Amino acid sequence: MTTQPIPFIQVGVANRGATVLWDLRERYADRLAPVALVDVEPSFLEAARAQTGLTGVSTHRTLTEALTAHPEAEAVFIVTPAAYHAQYIREGLAAGKHVWVEKPLTYSYAEAQELAKLAAKHKRAVVVGNQYQYHPLERQLQRVLAEGRYGKPVFVQYLHHRRRPEMRAFTGPYPALWEQGVHSLNSVLAFLGNPALHSVYALGFKPPQSTYRSDTFTSTLTEFAGGVQAYVLNTFDSHRNDWQICVECTDAALVVAANGWERDRIQVFKGDALVETLGPIAAREDAMPDPYAAFLHAIATSESVPTAIDVNLKTIQWIDAAVKSLETGEVVRFA
C-alpha cells in the first residue's frame, strides 16, 4: 500500500528555514509535501521556491492566509525567530494541525507549559527540531548509557565553545543559554534519561569585546533528583569552536572530544587506560535519526518522541531556572 505524503505549510523560509526546507525536499519528499510557504519578505519566498524547485507552491505573508487557502495541510513547520514560535504553534494547533518547531520551543517555561497543554487538548503532535541529541555520536552515547554498559552515570560535563561574534537581528537574551545551551542542556537530559531537576546555579558574563546585549559565557551547575550532577559551559562569542563531553560512570569515563565542529568517536577510559573506542550509531540501527523522522513517528503513532513538547519542557524549565539564577545570584531549588 502506498502512503501519500503529508501536506504541510512552512512558516519562515530564510536562513535556518531554507536549510529545513532543503532537508525536507532532499530526504523526505516521499513522506512530506509542501503546499504553501509563508514569510513576510517576498524575496525570501522567491529564493526558497527557486532553490528547491517548488515554483508551483503558493506563497503567503501570514499563516492565517496559508491555512485558509490550504485546509488540506496536515502539518505546520515553524522556522521563525523564537519570539514568534508560540503564536504560530497556537494558530497551527487551533487549526487542527501537527506542529514541528525549531528550537528553542519558546523563551518562557510558563508559556511552554501552556503550549504543551494545548497540544494535549487538540491531540496533535508538537515536536522540537534541530537538537544535537540527534547527532549519531550522541545517539550512540545515549544508547551505551541506557544499557548501563559502564555502570551508572554520576557526573556529566558538557563544554561547548562557539564563535558567533556578530549578533543577529533575531538573537534574544542570554544567547549562550537560549540559542546554544538549549542544545547542550537538552543533550545532557537525553544522556541521563530526562531526570527531574533538584537544583540549578548559573554564572555568566559578557566579555569586553562582545557586541551582544547580555551574557554570552554561561556556566551551569546542576543536581538532578537521585544525586547525579552536571556542569555545562556554553560560550557564544568565543575565539574558537570547541566541544567536549565527559560522562563519569561508576565503572568508566566516556569522553567525546571534537575538532572544531567535527565529532566522530567516544573514548572509554578506565584509570589512564583507553579500553574502547566507539563510533556513531549506524543509520540502519537508528529508527529516529533526526527530528523529521521523530515528527513523522509522532504523527503516525501518537507516541512521545525524544523532542516531543512534553519531553522538551524540561529543557525549557532548566534554561528558565538558569536565567533566574543568573539574575538573582541564587541557587534555584525544586521540590
C-alpha cell at 168: 543577529
Q: Which of 288, 308, 328 is nearest to 128 (CA)?
A: 308
For the chain, domains (ranges, CATH) are 6-131+289-308 (3.40.50.720), 132-279+316-333 (3.30.360.10)
Distance separating alpha carbons of residues 209 and 95, to the nearest angstrom:
46
pLDDT in tens, the chain (335 residues): 458 999 999 999 999 999 999 999 999 999 999 999 999 999 999 999 999 999 999 999 999 999 999 999 999 999 999 999 999 999 999 999 999 999 999 999 999 999 999 999 999 999 999 999 999 999 999 999 999 999 999 999 999 999 998 887 677 889 999 999 999 999 999 999 999 999 999 999 999 999 999 999 999 999 999 999 999 999 999 999 999 999 999 999 999 988 878 889 999 999 989 999 999 998 778 888 999 999 999 999 999 999 999 999 999 999 999 999 999 999 999 98
C-alpha cell at 190: 537525553
Q: Which of 207, 229, 228, 227 is nearest to 218 (CA)?
A: 207
271 by Cβ neighbours in 10 Å (0-12 / 13-18 / 19+) ranks as: exposed
pLDDT score for 1: 41
> What values do phi and psi take at 90, rounded to 5?
-60, -45
Query: Quick check: pTM over 0.75?
Result: yes
pLDDT score for 112: 98
